[in-house]
Amino acid sequence: MNNHYKNIAEDFNKVWNFSNKYKKWAVEKIGYHLKLNNKDIFVDIGGGTGTFTNMIAEQFTPKKAYCVEPERNMCNIAKQYTNIKTICSDTFYFINNLKYKYNKILFKEVIHHIKNRNTLWNNIYNTIENNGRILIYTRPKKIKFPLFEKAKQEFYKNQPSYDLMISELKNNGFNVELSIESFTFKLQKKEWHNMIKTKFMSDLSIFSDREILKGIEEIENKYNTKFYNIEDEIIFINAYK
């Protein structure tokens, strides 16, 4: 990955913000799939600016909630929340050095950035409590967002397939369940185009400003509408020990 998250940290909450309704939906789904409760030690890997770790901690009041984020600029923003423990750390270091056992671990929109997944699943299997749960919140390789073709190809290239992750998890001893659910949000054309201009997704960061403008022109010609109904198809991979 390039310096995408370092550069975007300050604006991250503004540019990755579909709606409060969307955030609430995501938090509900995460709580449901992880069966979160007030006895849990909850870990949010790649928790970014802590927005979701904080919302999850508020709603489900786990005994402890960790936001683990390797990019310092993102992590420093997450430190504003006093109800969560934010740790600026590499994922593997955190998992293997936690003093207590944890039992719920979330990967929200981050699994495509993590290398050595087999080692990761193995390390988690050895450190998570019995009956502990992993939730991967991610997207399919073929994203439904109205993006230009080259951006879709880039997304496809970077996104691991969910079938592959499911078999990796099973091979490392986990039981696995899959569910696919969508949230559709409506955005004005200008809002969506502005999000693309800010290169809000890491997959957009490889394109020059000129290529982005050309891409927006391509989308405009294809969709020719005042609003976009944007379907965010989310893959929930739920693994338990």
Ligand X SMILES: C[S@@+](CC[C@H](N)C(=O)[O-])C[C@H]1O[C@@H](n2cnc3c(N)ncnc32)[C@H](O)[C@@H]1O
Chain residues in the site for ligand X (CB under 6 A): 1, 5, 45-48, 51-52, 69-71, 74, 91, 108-110, 113-114
Nearer to ligand X, 204 or 239 (CB): 204
Nearer to ligand X, 22 or 125 (CB): 22
CB of 105 to ligand X, least distance (A): 12
Nearer to ligand X, 55 or 212 (CB): 55
Contact 160, 205 (CB under 8 A): no
Q: Which residues of 49-69 are buried (b: 16+ CB within 10 A; e: fewer)?
A: bbbbbbbbbeebebeebbbbb
CB of 217 to ligand X, least distance (A): 26
CB of 71 to ligand X, least distance (A): 4
Q: Identify the residue whose tokens are 């929200």.
A: 108
Q: Cα–chain-centroid distance for residue 199?
A: 16
CB of 109 to ligand X, least distance (A): 4
The C-alpha angle with vertex 74 and arms to 71 and 79, in degrees rounded to 5, equals: 115
CB of 57 to ligand X, least distance (A): 14
Nearer to ligand X, 108 or 193 (CB): 108
Beta strands in 169-226 (DSSP E): 175-188
Cα–Cα dist 155/142, whole Å: 8
Nearer to ligand X, 69 or 168 (CB): 69
Alpha-carbon Rg for the chain, nearest whole angstrom, is: 18
